[in-house]
Amino acid sequence: MSRPLTENGPALHVRLSMPSGNSLCRACKDRFLPVSEDSVAQFFFLVVSSAQSMKYKRLVPLFALVIFSTAAYLLYRALSAYEPAKILEAILAIPLARLALGALFVAGSYVSLTLFDMLAIRYIGAKLSYPRIALASFTALSIGHTLGLAAASSGAIRYRFYFRWDIDAGDIARIILFCAMTTTLGLNTLMGLALVLQANVAAKLLGFSQPGAIALGAACLALNVLYVALAAVLRRPLAIKRWEIPIPPVKLAIAQISIGTINFCFVAAALYELLPAAAGVGYFAVATVYVIANAASIISHVPGGLGVLEAVVIHVLPDVSMIGALVVFRFIYFLLPFIIGVALFAACELRQRSRQS
């Protein structure tokens, strides 16, 4: 059953039946009721079409101004205590070998992110080649990470790709939700491990006692265990008010947690490699700082977490050499992929238009 959805444009049809596929996809189809039409419509248009509404258009410039003003202020506070010449010196002091390793870990992170989409495609039961999935994922996330409001910005770009590859609006909404859940599970796992294994660092950042940090970390890990348990026992979607949240089969749930965690481990490793050896900071200490800063960035929706990561790291490690590492990290993880992503998106759009003409 489908219902036309319109928002200042041609109707989009949400196909609520799950397509057939391999045995794992058929398991998804057999076990789950479809997400309700209202849920799909609300989420999808929040992600893709709300910008077309006049009242939202009027708020976009103000909202962008607030975000960038906050980011600029945080970055100013983070950098104002340091001389530009010393920051440049710290950047040039990073050994090429560590810079190469950092770039390699960044590449590993973006490859992991493409696997988020690959799992999501299996989850909805669609068939799509990995090169196409990787193109959509990398383009969407390289741009979304830098622009902020990643669910909206990357979701809109995913829609542009997947809809032209015959995946309908309802399934695209499920892909976005699935990838968001994979991100949450991965961040939650690494945060739980960091809080338990680096309780002293976490306590300093969060203002907790060490036992409080350990208890919070254990709670984070327990939530992931609960998610896997629900995947193992539930045969119907998890209903919360009007929303129906299908839980994937247990194999997919475990894959979500594994790949989501690997992604954040790669990112933390990239930052760790760029920090000077003289800092004497271990990997898990860096991971603890990163996941807490990343959680703050997600909550604030500041584009690329601009200023948030810097502020947190400097609070823990107030040294000019940290700033050089952060500047390089921001370039190789955010700016360089953003440039590539924009170029890919523009090339794909131009190619699509030329085909249509």
Q: Is residue 72 part of a domain?
A: no
Q: What are the pLDDT tens digits along the chain (357 aa)?
A: 333 333 333 333 333 333 343 444 444 434 333 334 334 334 444 444 444 444 444 554 554 455 455 555 655 655 565 567 766 777 777 888 988 999 999 999 999 999 999 999 999 989 999 999 999 999 999 888 777 655 556 788 888 899 989 898 888 888 998 998 999 999 999 989 988 888 887 777 777 788 888 998 899 999 999 999 999 998 777 777 776 666 889 999 999 999 999 999 999 999 888 887 656 677 888 888 888 777 766 665 555 555 567 666 766 666 656 777 888 888 888 888 888 988 898 888 888 888 877
Residue 127 near residue 140, CB atoms below 8 Å: no
Give pTM, 2 decimals. 0.73
- pLDDT for the residue 200: 80
Encoded amino acid at 299, one letter: I
Structure tokens at 173: 């909404």
Q: Is residue 67 part of a domain?
A: no
Q: Is residue 348 part of a domain?
A: yes
Domain span holding position 182:
4-48+88-356
Structure tokens at 153: 């910005």
Residue 36 near residue 243, CB atoms below 8 Å: yes
- pLDDT for the residue 41: 37
Q: Is residue 54 part of a domain?
A: no
Indicate the DSSP class of residue 245: E
The continuous run of DSSP H or E covering 244 comes out as strand 243-245
Closest listed residue to residue 142, CA positions, set 305, 304, 256: 304
Domain count within the chain: 1
Cα–Cα distance between 220 and 200 in angstroms, integer? 17
Q: Is residue 305 part of a domain?
A: yes
Sorted by sequence, the CB contacts under 8 Å of residue 279 that are 6+ apart come out as 317, 319, 321, 322
Q: Is residue 66 part of a domain?
A: no
Q: Is residue 65 part of a domain?
A: no
3-state helix/strand/coil string of 14-83: CCCCCCCCCHHHHHHHHHCCCCCHHHHHHHHHHHCCHHHCHHHHHHHHHHHHHHHHHHHHHHHHHHCCCC
Closest listed residue to residue 205, CA positions, set 314, 76, 325: 314
**131 CB neighbour count, 10 Å cutoff:** 9
What SS3 state is found at 12? strand
C-alpha atoms less than 13 angstroms from C-alpha of 46 in its C-beta half-sphere: 12
Closest listed residue to residue 150, CA positions, set 341, 2, 321, 336: 341
- pLDDT for the residue 325: 80
Q: Is residue 56 part of a domain?
A: no
- pLDDT for the residue 112: 96
